[in-house]
Structure 1
């Protein structure tokens, strides 16, 4: 390879100069930086005044792939079917593969492990969501064959088994938003608590959290997460929320069960104090994001002789083509 231009700088100034060169777009990132005794030699694109310029040879830099799609070994005609993203829960990756890619699952899994060094296990979502706990079967693709992980988000740690409880890492921002709305002296009722992503976070701020779930495994992890995060003011309740509702009087109620939350509006409204807030979640088509849900909320309020005031409504995230996970915050009087 022919000689190239480089600048020679003392080692102790190297990092500062590297950043400046990058900002000025003068560093040639296609080549490796050289080290020579107490000096560093940077490959540059053009002559720069004020530095010792030398002509030398540089090794080509090996580019780190950004996406598993750059390194995966599958037939080229299937390449366009590869998902651009996947869920990461702790050190476990869960990817949703179309039917045509399932037989190439092992190679896809290996590619993910190669590019993302912190991931230790890769699973594909199976087709069925099974049982009353809404858990999807998982197919092991690569790495360790274990489904328990510790997931970190919003400054808390959540231990869970991805094969036995429902958990979505994509709601971290939404959970933080609810945390920011909550006030210190409040009592919170988390109706579908799971392993506690809302409950544990809120317990760090509010007076008391009642966290209910029908899945015994979720509650077992919730108990463990309570210890893990050293929160005392949280009461896990194993059972059907229909039996618990009304026994709890809360200032804030969380209904994170988007597919079925509308069926539990009565339970939420009899559990909230006058003037309290309900965080309601649902799924909607983009052409009718809120109307249908708002009608259901109004109807239940009317049946109970209560009034509601909508505080905020928003799209949380896309859920499927043209479908959105939505949120409506409303208070009850």
Structure 2
């Protein structure tokens, strides 16, 4: 077919011009030979070298795995509309009816998302003192360690051994933007360090505590990986650490049980320091129960609190939300 032949150094400028003229042929791959690039065109174009060339057709690439996966028609409405991507690992949640088709679903995800190398299904809820879940391998590589990037940092982790969700990346950046240079931060439930490593870019010092030895192992690696040497990893029960650390800012990212550690948080924050508290709340009344608990613990310790911000973070379950409350301890 007819083609415009141009030197490589001019290719991008010419491509834009051909698009502007409306003569660039669609559905074909651009061809490269030596120092030249060949663009397929729909007809003669003045001012360019025209040649005959053969081009490979390009098929329209699917945007979703649901366009290519093969499952019975009656089950298609049950296909998940989204899944978590952590590094090059995808983790999806399948209803029981789709589990027999797990391999086909996993392979469809790999086909559409070329950067994903392994696909797993959630085999259980997050549980236990280390907050991990069972994973069922569906397709791709049989490994659970990966390197994840978010907010300009790199996090190495094992999705089967530590708790991590990419769905809090925006919330972590929100806390980062509130953190002031020179602050001391106490991350009470640090995991592999998504808060701690990020906040270390602005804070003077970050104490990062976790009970899971695997989380601390990866936190130490991520500290080196990001050159965040002002992060101090602490393996152990936060109850034994509370009070020994005095911070300007405390992060309590343990939404299911954070209310049980309010005393420890308030013992660890400096006067006029800020606590970032997370919990779960029903849609009809997101914050009241948590506010009452925060006030009660403050009274018990002879302290006062000022609520600074309250917000929905993300949906958690039907009519349930992960919520955030920022409060100052006076």
Q: 1:90 touches 1:152 (CA, 8 Å); kept in 2?
A: yes
Q: Give the match's secondary structure for 1:136.
A: coil
Q: How many residues align?
A: 327
Q: How does 1:30-109 map to 2 (within 5 A)?
A: 30-33=27-30, 38=36, 40-43=38-41, 60-109=57-106
Query: Match for residue 300 of structure 1?
Result: 297
Name the TM-score, length of structure 2 as normaliser.
0.89
Q: How does 1:216-231 map to 2 (within 5 A)?
A: 216-231=213-228
Query: Match for residue 259 of structure 2?
Result: 262
CA–CA distance in structure 1, aligned partners of residues 20 and 132 of structure 2: 48
- Range with bigger deviation, 287-296 or 272-281: 287-296
Q: 1:235 to 1:29 in 2, by over 3 A?
A: same
CA–CA distance in structure 2, aligned partners of residues 323 and 26 of structure 1: 53
Per-residue CA distance 1:249-301 (angstroms, 9 max, x = gap) = 11000000111111111111111001001011111222212222222212221
Q: Give the match's secondary structure for 1:297.
A: helix
Query: Match for residue 315 of structure 1?
Result: 312
CA–CA distance in structure 2, aligned partners of residues 36 and 225 of structure 1: 43
Unaligned stretches of 5+ in structure 1?
none
CA–CA distance in structure 2, aligned partners of residues 14 and 290 of structure 1: 57
Q: 1:285 to 1:39 in 2, by over 3 A?
A: same
Q: 1:248 to 1:31 in 2, by over 3 A?
A: same
* Residue 279 (structure 2) pairs with residue 282 (structure 1): yes
* Residue 7 (structure 2) pairs with residue 16 (structure 1): no
Q: 1:128 to 1:198 in 2, by over 3 A?
A: closer
Name the TM-score, length of structure 1 as normaliser.
0.88
Shift of 1:222: 1.2
Query: Match for residue 179 of structure 1?
Result: 176
- 163, 166, 174: which one pairs with 2:163? 166
- Range with bigger deviation, 28-37 or 115-124: 28-37
CA–CA distance in structure 1, aligned partners of residues 286 and 232 of structure 2: 34
Unaligned stretches of 5+ in structure 2?
none
Per-residue CA distance 1:91-136 (angstroms, 9 max, x = gap) = 1111111111111011111111111111111110003434221211
Q: How does 1:135-214 map to 2 (within 5 A)?
A: 135-214=132-211
Shift of 1:53: 12
CA–CA distance in structure 2, aligned partners of residues 133 and 322 of structure 1: 26
Q: 1:127 touches 1:136 (CA, 8 Å); kept in 2?
A: yes
Q: 2:93 touches 2:121 (CA, 8 Å); kept in 1?
A: yes
Q: 2:5 touches 2:49 (CA, 8 Å); kept in 1?
A: no
